[in-house]
């Protein structure tokens, strides 16, 4: 089996919220998620907006502290560790590049900041060369170092965000919807660049997206989340060929097919009802209020998340 770089065990993240009553309420954003990410692979993570994908990604990096559960990096439990040494190894690329770049800093300052924090350059010249190399790596040039983020297009801003993540020579990157704020024409360029960087630098990715057709191409394995829980996880080809969970089947039925004949033959599964609130999620299987196959047991018992065939995990009573 390939080496595991990152592992979570029973990660849970609840956010307290203010209510009018004396009873404490929480947004139950992530519930009991255990995953393993192998060295050099891309694990895609999909699900509707608000299903807890980004919260899971940030909990892994401890940008927010998990309520309970543990995170292991290279076999070491880092749940309570000081994160500065791990910040160098574990990075994030944010969804909205314009919001994640400080408008008062030049591109050189943005990329150079982490180089200074982690003391990665020995001299001023070394630092300048370092920044120039990274900018070249992401398709920008050294002249761009003196400009400000607002002078760039959305795609170029995301390249700056990627350069910032790369500046500390990380091993693991959480790509948190890195292309969803970009024009469709730019999206494939950024995805191709991330794939090339992975090959060249041996990076490991957790690639978060709300669109399964995006993660399908870039991921070795895909995890599907619904309302804070992991409902299915399998190797990418297997998940697309043989989706077991009704929610995964629904997501895949919405992916456009280029062949018009196949497209006509295919049945689109339409979900009814609103996504329930994560403050008061449904009992038993959280999907039971919208699932076309729900049985009485589904509202009573939480389905076990188990391995149903080698490397194919699913949480459903009828699978």
Q: Under the rule (CB under 6 A), what is the footprint of ligand SF4?
A: 245-246, 285, 287-288, 291, 293-295, 298, 303, 316-318
Residue closer to ligand SF4 (CB basis): 40 or 282: 282
> What does the DSSP 8-state code read for residue 299?
G
Q: How far is the CB of 227 from ligand SF4 (least distance, A)?
A: 11
C-alpha distances out from residue 254 to 95, 216, 226, Å: 23, 13, 16
Q: How far is the CB of 269 from ligand SF4 (least distance, A)?
A: 12
Q: How far is the CB of 52 from ligand SF4 (least distance, A)?
A: 17
Q: How far is the CB of 304 from ligand SF4 (least distance, A)?
A: 10
First and final CA of the chain: distance in angstroms? 26
Q: How far is the CB of 250 from ligand SF4 (least distance, A)?
A: 10
Asked if residue 204 lies in contact with residue 37, where contact means CB atoms within 8 angstroms, the answer is yes
What is the DSSP pairing of strand 204-209 with strand 42-46? parallel
Residue closer to ligand SF4 (CB basis): 73 or 226: 226
- The token pair at 123 is 């001299």
Residue closer to ligand SF4 (CB basis): 263 or 301: 301
Distance CA 13, CA 244 (A): 26
Q: How far is the CB of 281 from ligand SF4 (least distance, A)?
A: 12
Residue closer to ligand SF4 (CB basis): 258 or 296: 296
- What are phi and psi for residue 269, nearest 5 degrees? -90, 120
Q: How far is the CB of 204 from ligand SF4 (least distance, A)?
A: 30
Asked if residue 261 lies in contact with residue 285, where contact means CB atoms within 8 angstroms, the answer is no
Residue closer to ligand SF4 (CB basis): 87 or 317: 317
- In the sheet that holds 229-235, the strands lie side by side as 90-93, 172-176, 204-209, 42-46, 221-226, 229-235, 312-315, 305-309
Size (the chain), residues? 319
Residue closer to ligand SF4 (CB basis): 190 or 294: 294
Reduced DSSP (H G I as helix, E B as strand, rest coil) percent helix, strand, coil of the chain, to 5: 35, 25, 40
Q: How far is the CB of 25 from ligand SF4 (least distance, A)?
A: 25
Residue closer to ligand SF4 (CB basis): 155 or 243: 243
> What does the DSSP 8-state code read for residue 180?
T
Residue closer to ligand SF4 (CB basis): 69 or 284: 284
Residue 191: HSE in the Cβ half-sphere, 13 Å Cα cutoff: 22
- What are phi and psi for residue 222, nearest 5 degrees? -130, 135
Distance CA 229, CA 12 (A): 9
């Amino acid at each position: 089996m390939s080496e595991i770089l990152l592992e979570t065990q029973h990660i849970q993240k609840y956010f307290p919220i203010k209510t009018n009553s004396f009873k404490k309420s929480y947004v139950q954003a992530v519930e009991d998620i255990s995953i393993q990410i192998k060295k050099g692979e891309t694990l895609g993570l999909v699900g509707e907006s608000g299903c807890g994908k980004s919260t899971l990604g940030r909990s892994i990096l401890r940008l927010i502290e998990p309520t309970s559960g543990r995170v292991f990096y290279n076999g070491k439990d880092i749940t309570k560790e000081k994160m500065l040494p791990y910040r160098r190894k574990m990075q994030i690329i944010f969804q909205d590049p314009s919001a994640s770049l400080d408008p008062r800093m030049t591109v050189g300052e943005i990329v150079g900041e982490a180089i200074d924090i982690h003391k990665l350059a020995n001299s001023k010249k070394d630092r300048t060369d370092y920044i120039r190399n990274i900018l070249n790596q992401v398709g920008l040039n050294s002249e761009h170092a003196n400009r400000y983020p607002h002078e760039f297009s959305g795609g170029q801003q995301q390249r700056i965000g990627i350069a910032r993540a790369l500046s500390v020579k990380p091993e693991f990157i959480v790509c948190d919807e890195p292309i969803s704020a970009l024009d469709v024409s730019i999206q494939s360029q950024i995805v191709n660049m991330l794939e090339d960087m992975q090959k060249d630098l041996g990076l490991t990715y957790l690639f978060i997206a709300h669109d399964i057709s995006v993660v399908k191409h870039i991921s070795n394995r895909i995890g599907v989340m619904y309302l804070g829980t992991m409902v299915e996880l399998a190797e990418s080809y297997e998940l697309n060929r043989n989706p077991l969970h009704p929610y995964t089947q629904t997501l895949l039925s919405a992916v456009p097919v280029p062949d018009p004949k196949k497209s006509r033959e295919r049945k689109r599964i339409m979900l009814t009802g609103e996504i329930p609130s994560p403050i008061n999620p449904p009992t038993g299987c959280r999907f039971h209020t919208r699932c076309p196959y729900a049985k009485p047991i589904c509202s009573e018992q939480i389905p076990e998340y188990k391995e149903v065939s080698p490397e194919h995990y699913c949480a459903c009573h009828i699978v």
